[in-house]
């Protein structure tokens, strides 16, 4: 089951965020409503990783969770950057 969840998060991070929103209380890691919304729109991998770090690491981003956060930011920037370059190729 855990492998299926990781596969869902990697293939469709926005769908995974919607599943987490409706079926878990992981969004309590955020104190406001706009950070998860902005994360859903612009940086879904980073939002998923941040929720996991806050929920599983006693409310702090340190150690391996920090490494995962950096990797998630790189994934998000890469996916956003590749999407913008694909629009220009006709």
Identify whether 13 is part of a domain.
Answer: no
Q: CA–CA separation, 5 vs 11, rounded Å?
A: 10
Asked if residue 58 belongs to a domain, the reply is yes
Q: Tell me if 49 is assigned to some domain.
A: yes
- Is residue 38 in a domain? no
Q: Determine the 3-state secondary structure of 33 from DSSP.
A: coil
CB of 44 closer than 8 Å to CB of 76 = yes
For residue 73, what are the domain limits? Answer: 45-82
Q: Is the pLDDT of residue 65 over 90?
A: no
Question: What is the number of structural domains in the chain?
Answer: 1
> What pLDDT is recorded for position 82?
66
- How many angstroms separate the CA atoms of 61 and 68, rounded? 9
pLDDT tens sequence across 5-62: 778 778 888 998 998 899 988 888 888 889 999 999 999 999 998 888 888 777 778 8
pTM of the model: 0.79
Query: Which residue would you say has higher pLDDT here, 84 or 64?
Result: 64
């Amino acid at each position: 089951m855990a492998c299926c969840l990781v596969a869902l998060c990697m293939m469709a991070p926005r769908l995974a965020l919607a599943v987490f929103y409706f079926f878990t209380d992981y969004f309590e890691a955020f104190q406001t409503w706009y950070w998860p919304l902005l994360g859903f729109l612009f940086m879904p991998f980073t939002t998923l990783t941040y929720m996991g770090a806050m929920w599983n690491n006693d409310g702090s981003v340190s150690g391996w969770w920090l490494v995962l956060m950096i990797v998630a930011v790189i994934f998000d920037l890469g996916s956003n950057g590749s999407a913008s370059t694909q629009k220009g190729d006709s």
